[in-house]
Structure 1
Amino acid sequence: MTDFSFSGQKMTFLAEDLMLNYTYSYENDDNQSDTCCSGTVCNWDTSRKFAAVFIPVLYSLALTLGLVGNGLVLAVLWQKRRMWSVTDTFILHLGVADILLLVTLPFWAVEAADEWVFGKGLCKITGAVFKINFYCGIFLLSCISLDRYMSIVHAVQMYSRRKPWMVQASCLGVWIFCVLLSVPDLVLLDTYSEPRKGDKIECIYSFPIDTMSEWRQAFRILYHIVGFLIPATTMVFCYTCILLRLHRGSQSVQKQRAMRVIMGLVVTFFVCWTPYNIVLIMETANTIKSQNQSVECDTYTTLDISLTATTTLGYMHCCLNPVLYAFVGVKFRRHLLELLKSLGCQISRWVAPVSRKSSVWSDSVDTSNTSAF
């Protein structure tokens, strides 16, 4: 049996369905050979045992930290909803997307530890919800970078204060596009029971056998281009131009803080998602290679474990978004302290007056009208 991974979800296919150029021999032999392509099925116990422990623990950590962080962001935004800027609106949708993605993690954790026990309907719905919010979070980060780029580098306001509905319309457009990207999940995700794994039920993609290779390659290309290459290129270009523009100006404390935050945004995005994309490319190349020549089972096991680890690292980005877009801001901390004070916490001596001229997240001059710093 061969396992593939896409955006954290397992795509599992029977070996005979892969239509590879070599033949598997399904012998009832517990001591299987370690050679993947010499007529014996590889033993995947190592990678499965790793996933059964690693995924539930890390997903639980991501869920807890992500819900607390994004929950605080949404609470502060709701408290200061009358003074939202464009960036605040994007951050609101980003927080919602991160939370909706995080709430799907317990389903995948249960599947990794045991099996999929939630039925075919929830398999399709959970997979689609995951995909919608996975892409939505990345696209919203790109929207924020584009808005800042136009405001700071070209002094052009993409959204007018007099037409606040425009930014909401942009966010709605992002959500609709992400829903369209999730349609294949609603159609192709299904539950499957594998006898060789003790009849363990999994929520997996069920590709048409005659076009399985084409479907799989299309999914991989779609993810690499739409889910990583385009947003990564957009962020690097926009934030590089912003940094150059800020560097040429006066080096005030506010600008130095903004430059540090921008570098943090870009570095964190690449640290979280680049390892997964590299491993995914290696796994794809290894699968293509296996169609023509023998590939050691140790290679498959290493790649499978690496995909599990790097996928979880990517999900931790949902936990870091509140830190990057909110907690580093002096103004957000003040608003948060005010919120805690309203709940009865004795912290009044730490709360400083807050100006209403800029974003909820900014303590600097609102040069761009969208600064989240």
Structure 2
Amino acid sequence: MAEVDLDYLANVTTGGFVVSTESYDVEEEIFLCIKTESNTFGEAIVPVFFYLIFTISLLGNGLILFLLLKFENVKTVTNLFILNLVISDLLFTFSLPFWGYYQNHEWIFGDGLCKVVPSIFYIGFYSSILFLTMMTVDRYMAVVHAIYAARTRKLVYVYLASAVIWAISLLSTIPKLILYGTRSDNLYGNLCVETGYDEKTIQWWKMVGYCQQLVMFFLIPLVVILYCYTLIVVKLYRTKMHNKDKAVKLILLIVLAFFICWTPFNAALFIKAQHLYQGNNCDDNIDKVYLVCRNIAYFHCCINPFFYTFVGTKFRHHLATMFSNWIRCGLRYRHSSLSSKISEYSPQTIYE
């Protein structure tokens, strides 16, 4: 997901024509591929998916944040990791309405937000993957190396790991902050794209982004997750834990969801990187496949909360408590309203 292919949005907006850059520092024309089918396909499905993911993720992560702050002690190892994961998902989520609107319109949010929005998007996206990986490592240590983890699993360990993850995410996003900017097109208005540099430089940074996504934010996390959860399952089956089958099913579900959501996207991204390296970046079919796979990958940010909180007994108990409190408050309010109405029309009131 690191390569959101936000430059694709520019291709959609420009319709794939040659865009002159004579009013900028670069004295050459940049050819934007004519991708009529994929552009039409993207205009139809991308905004719907972006708004849907935004709504579900905002509600899910917002609810977890509320339950975490209201019912839980945030200063524990597990809860601090969950808090960071929720913040990452929300950062990613907040940028989606901008891209959903931009998919079918020009960029109206100014040059500053053209740099800030992609940066927030990538910071949230990168950190979300890394926090998922770190939480897997933490669970591995707590289960497989319980004695060692009991001595070393302190808050300072969470603070240090979180600082490293946020630093890596921020550093990985710096090229986006530098490259992205607005430029005006005579036919299609303002665009928010990688600009201000010659085409070779932009293509080189795109390739760096592809490789960064594939290696740092997919292959390494996938290997770590598979390794850790495999050893966790082995450890669980060697113990006499009474509900180990339920724990194993949850682990398999987490791994399967990660694999299903991220593998097609990264496979499509790998093909796009190959085409870019070969100088053939105008394939309509791969772009349509890429769009579908990308939306599936983004959907993983919506289901993160359910795997890491709602499936746990503790958070489900908090959720039940919250709803029962709301129901009691509603019944109490209804009862008080009914009592006041009865009092208003009681015989004493009527004859006064």
The TM-score bracket by the shorter chain reads 0.7 to 0.9
User: In the alignment, does 2:50 pair up with 1:53?
Assistant: no
Deviation at 1:163, TM superposition (A): 4.6
What does residue 288 of structure 2 align with? 305
Residue identity matched to 2:141 = M
- Per the alignment, residue 7 of structure 1 pairs with 4
Q: Does residue 316 of structure 1 match 2:299?
A: yes
Residue pairs, 1:187-198, within 5 angstroms: 187-194=178-185, 198=187
Q: Does 1:73 align with 2:64?
A: yes
Deviation at 1:160, TM superposition (A): 5.8
Give, in angstroms, the shift of residue 220 of structure 1: 1.3
Q: Where do 1:1-373 residues align within 5 Å?
A: 6-10=3-7, 43-82=34-73, 85-158=76-149, 163-194=154-185, 198-206=187-195, 207-250=197-240, 252-253=242-243, 255-290=244-279, 300-345=283-328
1:157 to partner: Cα distance: 4.9
Separation in structure 2 between the aligned mates of residue 325 and residue 41 of structure 1, nearest angstrom: 42
Q: Distance in 2 between matches of 1:41 and 1:321?
A: 36
Distance 2:119 2:85 in 1: 17
Distance 1:183 1:159 in 2: 37
User: Given the two structures, how large is their TM-score scaled by the length of structure 1?
Assistant: 0.76
Larger Rg, first or second structure (1 or 2): 2
Does the 8 Å CA contact 2:77/2:154 hold for their aligned counterparts? no
Maintained 8 Å contact 2:95/2:117: yes
Higher relative contact order (CA 8 A, sep 6+): 1
Deviation at residue 116 of structure 1 after TM alignment = 1.5
Q: Distance in 2 between matches of 1:103 and 1:160?
A: 38
Deviation at 1:166, TM superposition (A): 3.4
Q: Which amino acid aligns with 2:193?
A: I
How far residue 42 of structure 1 moved from its aligned partner, in angstroms, is: 5.8
Structure 2 distance, partners of 1:107, 1:126, is: 8
- Alignment CA distance shift 1:200-1:52 (3 Å): farther
Q: Return 177-186 or 140-149, whichever deviates more.
A: 177-186
RMSD, matched Cα: 2.9
Normalising by structure 2, we get a TM-score of: 0.81
Contact 2:47 2:103 in 1 (8 A): yes
For 1:122, the aligned partner's letter is L
Larger proportion of helix: 2
Counterpart-to-counterpart distance in 2, 1:252 and 1:285 = 49
User: What amino acid maps onto 2:277 in structure 1?
Assistant: I
Checking the alignment, whether the CA contact within 8 Å between 1:239 and 1:262 is kept in structure 2 is yes
Amino acid at match of 1:56: P
Secondary structure in 1 matching 2:130: helix
> Structure 1's 139 and 345: CA in aligned 2 closer, same or farther, altered over 3 A?
farther
Q: Which runs of 5+ in 1 are unaligned?
A: 18-25, 27-39, 349-373
Task: Provide Cα deviations, 1:91-116, integer angstroms capped at 9, x if missing partner.
Answer: 11101110111110001111112121
**Counterpart AA for 1:103:** F
For each residue in 1:65-88, what CA deviation from the matched residue of structure 2 results, as whole angstroms up to 9, or x when unmatched? 111111111111112233753112
| Whole-angstrom CA distance in 1 between matches of 2:34 and 2:73 | 59
For 1:182, what is the secondary structure of its paired residue?
helix
What residue identity is the alignment partner of 2:3? F
CA spacing shift, 1:47–1:194, aligned 2, 3 Å: farther
Letter in 2 for 1:239: Y
Q: Within 2, Cα distance between the matches of 1:307 and 1:170?
A: 32
Is the 1:97–1:136 Cα contact (8 Å) retained in structure 2? yes
Q: What amino acid sits opposite 1:234 in the alignment?
A: V
**2:337 maps to which residue?**
none
Per-residue deviation, residues 97-156 of structure 1 (Å, max 9, x unmatched): 101111100011111121211111101000100111101000001111111111211224
Question: Which stretch of the first structure deviates more once superposed, 160-169 or 80-89?
Answer: 160-169
CA distance, structure 1, for counterparts of residue 230 and residue 126 of structure 2: 23
Cα pair distance change 1:336/1:81, threshold 3 Å = same
Moved more, 120-129 or 204-213: 204-213
For residues 327-364 of structure 1, what are the alpha-carbon distances to aligned partners after superposition, in whole Å with 9 as ceiling and x for unaligned? 1122211111112233345799xxxxxxxxxxxxxxxx
CA distance in 2, matches of 1:126, 1:139: 20
Relative to structure 1, the CA distance from residue 42 to residue 79 in structure 2 (aligned partners, 3 Å threshold; closer, same or farther) is closer
Q: Matched residue of 1:6: which SS?
A: coil
Structure-2 change in CA distance of 1:216 and 1:156 (3 Å):
farther
Provide closer, same or farther for how the CA distance between residues 235 and 310 of structure 1 changes in structure 2, counting only shifts above 3 A: same
Aligned length, in residue pairs: 314
| Counterpart Cα distance in 2 of 1:289 and 1:256 | 49
- Cα separation, partners in 2 of 1:161 and 1:75, compared to 1, 3 Å: farther
